[in-house]
Amino acid sequence: MDSIDLQAFTLYWLVIWAVLGSAITPLIFDHRHRSPWRGALLGLVLGTASGHIFGRLILALLVPLLPDAATWLSMLGGLVLLVPFWLSIKPAQQTMLRHYGFVAGTITPLTFYLLLLSVLPLAWAILLAFFDYSPRRVGGPILGLGGENPFVGLQYFQTMITGEGRDGLIFQNSLQNTLAFTLLVVPLNLFITIPLATMIESVHRVFKTIFRTIYFLPVVTSSVGVAVMWGYIYNQQYGLLNDVLSNFGVTPIGWLQDPRANVLGVPAALFAVVIAYLWQDFGYNLVIFIAALQSIPDTLKEAARVDGASPLQVFWSITLPLLRPTILVTSVLTVISSFQVFDLIQVMTQGGPGRIGQTRVLVLDIYESAFRFEKMGWAAAMSVAMFVIVALLTVVQTRVLRSNWEY
């Protein structure tokens, strides 16, 4: 038992049997003419309790006898209480099925999943943002807070605003890089995807499917693989890009290593990462725009052509305004994903080049602060700040791009 991570198994028992109990029990309750919502609640409680109690008991009893199978068999602990409970459910006098079992058995596990893996971690991050917390230090009796993990109040947020010390300076640099990355990615993405989607929509149906597939392939490609590929392309000694430029007499450029290199005033390393990110990401928005174009009534375009409008005028005066709701959705999603960029930069530049880092973004700063320097409180405060910034940008985008009409 000493070599088994009981904390991890506790989480497994909780998630597995809370989900299964609250998903299966409503179906049985509905079949027996009973309230599926009551069944979902009872299944959630019984599944969680049975998984923890009997999972731990099975693990303790079988580890000395069957060390290889004990961990797997402990996952069956939830059945000990759930199966007798399912068999004991008596049919009610009601004769008419309401068919809410599937609804209750779907919504309840998903709600539990979101609460456990989204809402609670967010609340924990907000709480940590007010403490100088490190998992290596012994804290107080409540969640390890207090004691050697003292309460610091708004100190971290003040450091972000003033830029004091090394942490504050790096945060402000990371925020500037993230905003610059987003300001480059969002308009370039839309500038590429909207005209390209319009052109693809105008070709034959067979070619349309082929083009959609080709352009969407990078989206499902591993980000690490994409980063390695573009790293080879940008390599200063044997990279494909420098080989092409050398044919025109251009000296090889250290795209990812030289802090002095720039493209139109933008650090070359940041520009290189933006190009790699766009190559992988633009196919996602492209598919969304193609679907939006297919929903625009052809009668509107045909009426404009009858009135003598050119293809460019039809696109500018008919197609583009009708794409406004889709532009809002894609721009919001692109802003959120660009703020979360991490793997491409981690593999291609590790946040460099330069003393502070020309491509060091917020998520990379949060990752290193939390898992390299173990400043969990500072990392949580930066996460909260990033959440607020993204929320504000989303509100601004919604205000600017929203439309009050339908077609």
pLDDT at 327: 93
pLDDT at 268: 92
Domain chopping of the chain, boundaries: 6-128, 156-401
379-393 pLDDT, tens digit per residue, is: 999 999 999 999 999
Reported CATH class of domain 156-401: mainly alpha
- Give me 278's structure tokens: 């766009």
pLDDT at 33: 83
Q: Are 221 and 310 in contact (CB under 8 A)?
A: no
Would you say the C-alpha torsion 313, 318, 319, 324 has a positive or negative sign? positive
Which residues are bridge partners to 267 per DSSP?
262
Which residues are bridge partners to 266 per DSSP?
263
Element (H, E) at 98: none
Q: What is d(CA 353, CA 256) in angstroms, rounded to the nearest whole number?
A: 7
pLDDT at 32: 86
- Give me 119's structure tokens: 């809402």
pLDDT at 21: 94
pLDDT at 3: 66
Q: Rg of the chain over CA atoms, in angstroms?
A: 28
Task: Based on DSSP, count helices (H) and strands (E) in the chain, helices before strands.
Answer: 19, 2
Question: What parts of the chain have a pLDDT lower than 70?
Answer: 1-3, 94-98, 405-407
Element (H, E) at 37: helix 36-62
Which residues are bridge partners to 149 per DSSP?
146
Q: What does pTM read for this prediction?
A: 0.85
CA angle 282, 296, 403 (to 5 degrees): 80
